[in-house]
């Protein structure tokens, strides 16, 4: 009896939603406002707003020092940074890439008529499975784009070995892995180049932004030209280029946020540990864990829900959470191979992607970041525990709601 009344507190049974305001995955981390405002004032006073201004140059220098690379080229976002890096590396034909990533990774290739060849992942790390990469290589393959998803690094050694042996260019989409390390070295120094995202939702944001980092002097020179229309000097264009420049206000935000980087990591790590303590031993739940000897930004809290053991599917659990105003996300459902234009190009790609297909039905990202505190995490965990403890009743209730045509809202 008492059990049922507790269960009835869930919003899907008519209880008050746990939160008045929605809790998002991806609320921006924001550093010291006064420092940011001071920098914006400086920008306005200087009237130097973009085109390689002093804050952009300072940000590039700070990032290169932090990562330990020779070059950092700041850009307007990571998608354009990927496009430019791919082009500067001379990738063409086919490039091997995971399907289990944000669609921008695949689009950056297809945008320039390169075929993304989707490769399966290691279910433990959610990153490219090197054995699958090797099997996907054809005479048309020119490169590999690995993605360090959730700050979980790829098997860099194995991918570098394949790239060397097979004469392929290796680029990393490191959008999620700023301030993370692999074997004690900072992400950013691997492959031919790596690309960071500084989008609002990322660990360090520049509002919108991204960067290419590399130790290759010639590649860096090319990328610098390409992101500025190919200009080598006033009136002199030496190269085909585009506009990939970062502006000064974005750089000011980046510099401000970098100053709070350790506080952001501390908040993220505290949330991560709290979620992990409360949820990781639940039957049917697998919690994404990280090598504690490496650096990690803990920007994502990732669960996998095995319906057979948990008693609820990922989508059911997400509906329960959305009804409580906890907007957990199904990143990256349904996988790039299942969205256009790739679905039409490769209708049977799923047959070669069994781990990706399994994971896209199970994975869920929970709200974290500096906008979320221990009270919120505690309440979210209580909801998950309660829902899973009453799997059959929750399942039945969701079915009733659906039959009554009032499904709880759901998004990715």
Residue ranges binding ligand T4K (CB under 6 A):
24-28, 77-79, 101-102, 104-105, 147, 173, 175-176, 197, 199-201, 210, 327, 331
Q: Which residue has the tokens 């320039």?
A: 112
Residue 30 CB, shortest distance to ligand T4K, in Å, is 10
Query: What DSSP string runs through 261-330?
Result: HHHHHHHHHHHHHHHHHHHTTSTTEEE----TTS------EEEEE-HHHHSS-HHHHHHHHHHTTEE-B-
- Separation CA 211–CA 77 (nearest Å): 7
Alpha helices in 198-260 (DSSP H): 217-226, 248-259
Give whichever of 386 and 410 is closer to ligand T4K, judged by the CB atom. Answer: 410
Asked whether 408 and 322 are in contact (CB, 8 A), the reply is yes
Please spell the DSSP secondary structure of 23-84, one letter per residue.
EETTPPP---HHHHHHHHHHHHHHT--SSS-HHHHHHHHHHHHHHT-SEEEEES-HHHHHHH
C-beta of 148: minimal distance to ligand T4K in Å? 8
* 146 vs 284 by CB, closer to ligand T4K: 146
Cβ distance to ligand T4K smaller for residue 103 or 158: 103
Compute the least distance from the CB of residue 205 to ligand T4K, in Å.
8
Closer to ligand T4K by Cβ: residue 197 or 271: 197
- Write down the least CB distance from residue 192 to ligand T4K, Å: 17
Residue facing ligand T4K at closest CB distance: 26
> What is the closest distance, in whole angstroms, from the C-beta atom of residue 203 to ligand T4K in the complex?
11
Nearer to ligand T4K, 189 or 209 (CB): 209
Alpha carbons 114 and 283: distance in angstroms, whole number: 43
The residue among 122 and 391 lying less far from ligand T4K, judged by its C-beta, is 122
Instruction: Give the C-alpha distances (Å, rounded to integers) separating 189 from 64, 95, 196, 389.
Output: 10, 21, 12, 45
User: Cβ closer to ligand T4K: 24 or 185?
Assistant: 24
Rounded Cα gap, residues 173 and 189, in angstroms: 12
**What's the min distance (Å) between Cβ of 238 and ligand T4K?**
27
Provide the minimum distance between the beta carbon of 373 and ligand T4K in the complex, in angstroms, as a whole number. 16
């Amino acid at each position: 009896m008492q059990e049922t009344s507790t269960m009835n507190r869930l919003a899907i049974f008519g209880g008050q939603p746990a939160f008045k305001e929605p809790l998002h995955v991806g609320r921006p981390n924001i550093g010291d406002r006064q420092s940011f405002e001071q920098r914006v004032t400086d920008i306005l006073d200087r009237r130097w707003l973009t085109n390689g201004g002093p804050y952009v140059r300072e940000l590039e220098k700070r990032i290169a020092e932090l990562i330990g690379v020779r070059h950092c080229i700041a850009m307007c976002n990571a998608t354009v940074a990927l496009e430019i890096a791919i082009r500067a590396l001379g990738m063409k034909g086919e490039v091997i890439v995971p399907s289990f990533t944000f669609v921008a990774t695949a689009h950056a290739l297809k945008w320039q008529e390169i075929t993304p060849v989707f490769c399966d992942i290691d279910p433990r790390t959610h990153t490219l499975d090197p054995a699958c990469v090797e099997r996907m290589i054809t005479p048309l393959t020119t490169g590999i784009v690995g993605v360090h998803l959730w700050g979980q690094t790829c098997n860099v050694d194995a991918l570098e070995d394949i790239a060397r042996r097979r004469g392929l260019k290796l680029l990393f989409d490191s959008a999620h892995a700023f301030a993370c390390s692999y074997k004690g070295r900072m992400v950013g120094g691997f492959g031919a180049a790596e690309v960071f995202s500084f989008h609002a939702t990322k660990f360090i944001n520049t509002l919108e932004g991204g960067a290419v980092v590399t130790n290759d002097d010639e590649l860096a020179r090319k990328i610098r030209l390409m992101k500025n229309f190919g200009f080598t000097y006033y009136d002199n264009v030496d190269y085909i280029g585009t506009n990939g420049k970062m502006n000064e206000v974005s750089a000011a935000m980046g510099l401000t946020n970098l100053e709070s980087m350790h506080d952001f990591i501390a908040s993220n790590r505290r949330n991560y540990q709290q979620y992990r303590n409360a949820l990781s031993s639940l039957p049917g739940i697998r919690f994404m864990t990280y090598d504690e000897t490496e650096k990690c930004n803990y920007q994502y809290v990732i669960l996998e829900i095995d319906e057979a053991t948990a008693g609820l599917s990922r989508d059911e659990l997400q509906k329960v959470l959305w009804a409580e105003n906890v907007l957990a996300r199904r990143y990256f459902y349904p996988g790039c191979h299942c969205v256009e234009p790739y679905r039409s190009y490769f209708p049977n790609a799923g047959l070669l992607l069994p781990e990706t297909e399994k994971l896209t039905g199970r994975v869920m990202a929970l709200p974290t970041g500096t906008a979320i505190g221990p009270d919120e995490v505690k309440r979210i965990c209580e909801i998950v525990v309660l829902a899973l403890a009453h799997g059959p009743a929750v399942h039945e209730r969701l079915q009733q709601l659906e039959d009554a045509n009032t499904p709880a809202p759901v998004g990715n």
